[in-house]
Structure 1
Amino acid sequence: VQAGLSGDRPTVLLMGGGLGLGDMEATLAALEQVQLRLSVLVVAGHNAALEERARARAAHSHHAISVRGYTHDVPVLMRAADLLITKPGALTISEAFAAGLPLLLHDPIPGPETENAVYATRCGAAVWLHPGERMAPAVEDILTHRLPAMRRAARDCAREEAAQRVAEILTEMLQRK
């Protein structure tokens, strides 16, 4: 099975960027309330303390939890996952869209991350978990009822031509000088 995960369970990927930001420990605790048996992949980034605590939690979980530190294999992990739980950073959102990966978003930093959460939610690729909302019911709803539509929406949100368009705009700007 790709990425070292159990193939008979839905796979949830937890990411918090290279620094392992976001309260992933609280996310792992909340996932214990999910009745579905999950494969959970935690990418702790350069956060060794988080990696150690996540491994300790994995030993007592009813889910199959795999923990990694910093990795360059994010595209592979995203293709292996059914759902990404993360903060709505621009690069992470873009990679998820390119992979057709549905998102459960939490704790955006005011400003660009909030705008990312609004965009991803409006296009149907994400559910934005607001303070006070419980994660377990949202995860179960997405995994049991919404995955196909959210996958399509994520792929539709991807702007495959974006890099080409940026290059064209920059070329036009340089030619005007």
Structure 2
Amino acid sequence: GLNNISCVLEEILKNKNNLNITVVCGNNKDLKKHLEKTYNKIHNNKFINIIGYTTEISKIMEKSDLLISKPGGLTSSEALMTALPMLVPFIIPGQETENIDFLCKNNCAVYVKNLKHINNKITHLINNPNILKNMKLSAIKLAENFSKDNIVELCNNILSNR
């Protein structure tokens, strides 16, 4: 919601690197209005693009170097399919706990339990591009393992063994 996104954005804006930031608010019009009112397009040498609902998520992800988001099922799947490393600053207990454990174990995401550490983690990833590269490669490998073709093949094998 509004508070989590605002806190994360505040931390990102403290980063000393030049960043292009895209915030996708989805259907949350209050969040979009709040962010547009609070932040200019350029803030602390960072370009901020705030958008509402869009059908262009995969295009946005393909142009991105890092996704900062909670690890919902759809978001995590889209990130894997576009080989986009994730930095996760918060989770909703339950399924997202399992998602982040799985993504971290497979080197596709980094979980930052304290919002105050987001900045350091972003700087660390920028200064160590091989880490991001390896996370991308891990996402590609994982996405291939769980591709629709492999899932169909698994289902066919299960059904044929009945």
Mark yes or no: TM-score above 0.5. Answer: yes
1:94: which partner in 2?
77
Asked if 1:50 corresponds to 2:35, the answer is: no
Contact 1:88/1:106 (CA < 8 Å) preserved in 2? no
Q: Measured at CA, do residues 147 and 67 of structure 1 come closer, stay the same or move farther in structure 2, by a change above 3 Å?
A: same
Distance 2:2 2:144 in 1: 26
Q: Which amino acid aligns with 2:84?
A: L
CA RMSD of aligned residues (A): 2.3
Alignment correspondent of 2:149: 164
Match of 2:17? 36
SS at 1:119 equivalent: helix
Give the TM-score normalised by structure 2.
0.85
Structure 1 segments, 4+ long, off by >4 Å, are 168-177
1:79 to 55, 58, 62: 62
Partners of 2:37 and 2:107 lie apart in 1 by 35
Unaligned stretches of 5+ residues in structure 1: 1-19
* Unmatched tracts of structure 2, length 5 or more: none
* Cα drift, residue 109 of structure 1: 1.5
Instruction: Say which SS state the counterpart of residue 43 (structure 2) adopts.
Output: coil
Q: Is the 8 A contact 1:58 1:64 kept in 2?
A: no
Q: Which has the higher helix share?
A: 2
The equivalent of 2:137 in structure 1 is 152
